[in-house]
Amino acid sequence: MTEFSIPSRRGFLVLSGLTLGGTGLLLAGCSTTAVMTPMPGSEDDTVAALPMVNKLRASKGLAALSLDASARKAAGIQAMRMAKAEEMKHLIGLGDDFGARMKKSDVALPAAENIAAGQKSVDAAVQAWIDSPKHLENMLGNYRGLGVAMAPAKDGRPYWAMVLSG
């Protein structure tokens, strides 16, 4: 895995287009420097994100996504993992495996994950993903389900995860 630092207000960690074990898993992440007031626990933001993602997909002639309980669970777990580690990463710790995480949460493959950190609202997180070519590619992929969650770190910095499922 390679991390790229881009000197700007927004740094990008781009892992999209990566195929893990031939299972068609795509990953992408982005960050801003904004900080949010701490909130207890994690927050499922799928209901708020779904209309934004489906409007985008409709503008490209693509089928709408639906709420996916497994993708929602996987997104919540990833957001909490990043918040606890205070790092925006798809893979946290030795032996971490995206495919295994998706399987453990019963996420239908193919699957993709977008991550972000620092955005103050679900609207801002989704817009950051739309503005990033690799995240946008994930959102316009051949998926059926969606899950989006946010978890704040101890310092209040929000960590976001979006899981798209087959």
Q: Where are the alpha helices (DSSP H) in the chain?
A: 46-59, 69-85, 98-104, 122-131, 133-139
Contact by Cβ (8 Å): 138, 29: no
Gap between the Cα atoms of 21 and 77, Å rounded: 22
Gap between the Cα atoms of 47 and 44, Å rounded: 8
Helix, strand, coil percentages (3-state) for the chain, rounded to 5, are 35, 20, 45
Contact by Cβ (8 Å): 120, 158: yes
Task: Look at residue 11 and give its three-state secondary structure.
Answer: coil
Per-residue pLDDT of 21-57, as tens digits, reads 334 444 444 443 333 223 336 799 999 999 999 999 9
Instruction: Name the residue ranges covered by the structural domains of the chain.
Output: 43-88+98-116+131-165
Per-residue pLDDT of 109-166, as tens digits, reads 999 999 999 999 999 999 999 999 999 999 999 999 999 999 999 999 999 999 999 9
Predicted model pTM: 0.75
Gap between the Cα atoms of 118 and 152, Å rounded: 9
Q: 43-88+98-116+131-165 adopts what CATH topology?
A: Pathogenesis-related Protein p14a (3.40.33)
Task: Look at residue 160 and give its three-state secondary structure.
Answer: strand
Per-residue pLDDT of 55-108, as tens digits, reads 999 999 999 999 999 999 999 999 999 999 999 888 787 777 889 999 999 999
